[in-house]
C-alpha cells in the first residue's frame, strides 16, 4: 500500500526519468523502496516504469536482498541498448549524404556511409521497411562538380592534421601558375564553398592566412610540430563580410533588379547584410555590405540585363569592363 504521506514529484519529462532509471539500474541494484525514494514516484508508477523498461528489451537479474527483490539490469552498462533512430532522423542523415555527393570517394563520405550503416543495422522492422523510400527522397543536382575521388588519401592526411593540430608541408599550385610551391602550413579548418574544398590555415611561407584549393594540392605531409589555433580566430566572422572567398575591403553595394527577377532577390538570402527595398514599379534595390568586387561583378553579370549596379563606382567600372571585354569577343 502506498504511504498516505508520499507526495509524488511531478516530472515534466517522464522519458528523461526512465532513461535515468535505466542508467541507475545498470550501475547498481535497487529495491522497490529505494527506487521510490530515488525517483520520488509512487509504488504503482515504479512498477509501471519497470514494466516499460522490460518492454524495451532489458532483462532484470533476479536477486533477493533481505527478503525484498532487488532490481538490476543484466549486463551493466553494456546492457544499455542504443536508442533506435526515427524515420525523420534517418531522412536527415540521408539528406546530409546526398548534399555531400560531390565528395564521393573521400574519407568524409566513407565515414558517413559507415555511420548510416551502423544506424540502419539497429532499426526496428517498422522503420527498416521504409528504408528504400528514405534513400530516394533526396536527389542532389550539383554543378559544377570538382572531382575529389582520386584525392582520398590526401584528404585523409588533411583530416588527420586537423584533428591532431599538426603542422603540414604541402605542395600547392596557385591559379594561373604551372608549378607547385611548397608551403609549411598551420591548418585551421576545411571550408566548403560552392561544392569545393579549401584548406584554411597560416602559411609560414606567405606569413599570412591563406586558402588552398584542395584540387590544386599535389601532396600533404604531416610534421611532428603542433600548431596552436589562435584564440581570436573566427572563420565565420572573417568570411561573412565577404561576398565570396576573396579578402578585400568592405563596400556598401547597391544593385537594382528588374521586376521580372525581383521575387528571386527577395526570396533568397544572398548575404548576411542584405537589405532589399521594393520600388513602385515592382523592381527592387538590394544593399549589401561586402568585400570581393570581382566576385560581386560576376554575380551581377549572371543576371544579364535584369541587374544594374548603382554603387560603388569601383564595382560599376568592374562590371562595365567585363561587359566590354565580353562584347569584343563577339565583334567580328
Percent of the chain predicted with pLDDT > 70:
92
CA 190 to CA 196: how far, in whole Å?
10
Q: Of 87-91, 149-153, 241-245, 279-283, which gets the smallest average pLDDT? A: 87-91
Can you give the pLDDT at residue 80? 60
Q: Of 83-87, 249-253, 268-272, 320-324, which gets the smallest average pLDDT? A: 83-87
Residue 329 confidence (pLDDT) above 80:
yes
Architecture, CATH, for domain 149-231: Roll (2.30)
pLDDT (tens digit per residue) in 63-77: 655 667 888 887 766
Residue 132 confidence (pLDDT) above 70:
yes
Residue 1 confidence (pLDDT) above 50:
no
Domain 14-79 shares a fold with domain 149-231: no
Residue 143 confidence (pLDDT) above 80:
no
Q: Work out the pLDDT band at 239, boundaries 50, 70, 90.
A: confident
Residue 3 confidence (pLDDT) above 50:
no
Can you give the pLDDT at residue 254? 98
pLDDT (tens digit per residue) in 250-301: 999 999 999 999 999 999 999 999 999 999 999 999 999 999 999 999 999 9
SS (H, E, C) the chain: CCCCCCCCCCCCCHHHHHHHHHHHHHHCCEEHHHHHHHHCCCHHHHHHHHHHHHHCCCCECCCEECCEEEECECCHHHHCCCCCCCHHHHHHHHHHHHHCHHHCCCHHHHHHHHHHHHHHHCCCHHHHCCHHHHHHCCCCCCCCCCCCHHHHHHHHHHHHHHHHCEEEEEEECCCCCCCCEEEEEEEEEEEEECCEEEEEEEECCCCEEEEEEHHHEEEEEEEEEECCCCCCCCHHHHHHCECCCCCCCCEEEEEEECCCCHHHHHHCCCCCCCEEEECCCCCEEEEEEEECHHHHHHHHHCCHHHEEEEECHHHHHHHHHHHHHHHHHHCC
Can you give the pLDDT at residue 166? 96
Residue 59 corresponds to which cell in the numbers above? 532483462
Q: What is the number of alpha carbons within 13 Å of residue 87 lying toward its C-beta?
A: 11
Residue 11 confidence (pLDDT) above 80:
no
pLDDT (tens digit per residue) in 194-227: 889 999 999 999 999 999 999 999 999 999 999 9
What lies within 8 Å, CB to CB, of 153 at 6+ separation is: none
Check: CATH 2.60.40.740 for 14-79? no
Residue in the structure block whose three cell numbers are 509512487: 42
Spell out the domain ranges in the chain: 14-79, 87-136, 149-231, 241-330
Can you give the pLDDT at residue 219? 96
Q: Work out the pLDDT band at 82, boundaries 50, 70, 90.
A: low
Q: Work out the pLDDT band at 8, boundaries 50, 70, 90.
A: very low
Amino acid at each position: 500500500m502506498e504511504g498516505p504521506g508520499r507526495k509524488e514529484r511531478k516530472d515534466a519529462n517522464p522519458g528523461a526519468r526512465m532513461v535515468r532509471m535505466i542508467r541507475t539500474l545498470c550501475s547498481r541494484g535497487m529495491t522497490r523502496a529505494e527506487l521510490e525514494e530515488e525517483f520520488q514516484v509512487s509504488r504503482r508508477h515504479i512498477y509501471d516504469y519497470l514494466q516499460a523498461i522490460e518492454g524495451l528489451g532489458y532483462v532484470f537479474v533476479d536477486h533477493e536482498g533481505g527478503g525484498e527483490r532487488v532490481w538490476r539490469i543484466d549486463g551493466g552498462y553494456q546492457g544499455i541498448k542504443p536508442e533506435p533512430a526515427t524515420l525523420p532522423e534517418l531522412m536527415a542523415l540521408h539528406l546530409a549524404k546526398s548534399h555531400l555527393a560531390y565528395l564521393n570517394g573521400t574519407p568524409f563520405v566513407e565515414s558517413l556511409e559507415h555511420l548510416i550503416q551502423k544506424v540502419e543495422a539497429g532499426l526496428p522492422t517498422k522503420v527498416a521497411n521504409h528504408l528504400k523510400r528514405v534513400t530516394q527522397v533526396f536527389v542532389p543536382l550539383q554543378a559544377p562538380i570538382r572531382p575529389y575521388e582520386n584525392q582520398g588519401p590526401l584528404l585523409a592526411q588533411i583530416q588527420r592534421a586537423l584533428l591532431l593540430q599538426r603542422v603540414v608541408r604541402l605542395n600547392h599550385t596557385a591559379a594561373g601558375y604551372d608549378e607547385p610551391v611548397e608551403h609549411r602550413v598551420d591548418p585551421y579548418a576545411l571550408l566548403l564553398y560552392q561544392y569545393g574544398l579549401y584548406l584554411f590555415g597560416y602559411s609560414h611561407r606567405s606569413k599570412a592566412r591563406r586558402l588552398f584549393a584542395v584540387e590544386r594540392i599535389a601532396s600533404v605531409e604531416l610534421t611532428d610540430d603542433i600548431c596552436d589555433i589562435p584564440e581570436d580566430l573566427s572563420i565565420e566572422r572573417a568570411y561573412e563580410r565577404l561576398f565570396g572567398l576573396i579578402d578585400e575591403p568592405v563596400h556598401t553595394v547597391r544593385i537594382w533588379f528588374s521586376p521580372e527577377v525581383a521575387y528571386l532577390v527577395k526570396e533568397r538570402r544572398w548575404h548576411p547584410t542584405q537589405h532589399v527595398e521594393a520600388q513602385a514599379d515592382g523592381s527592387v534595390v538590394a544593399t549589401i555590405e561586402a568585400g570581393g568586387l570581382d566576385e560581386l561583378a560576376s554575380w551581377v553579370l549572371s543576371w544579364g540585363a535584369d541587374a544594374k549596379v548603382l554603387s560603388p563606382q569601383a564595382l560599376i567600372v568592374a562590371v562595365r569592363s567585363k561587359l566590354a571585354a565580353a562584347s569584343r569577343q563577339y565583334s567580328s
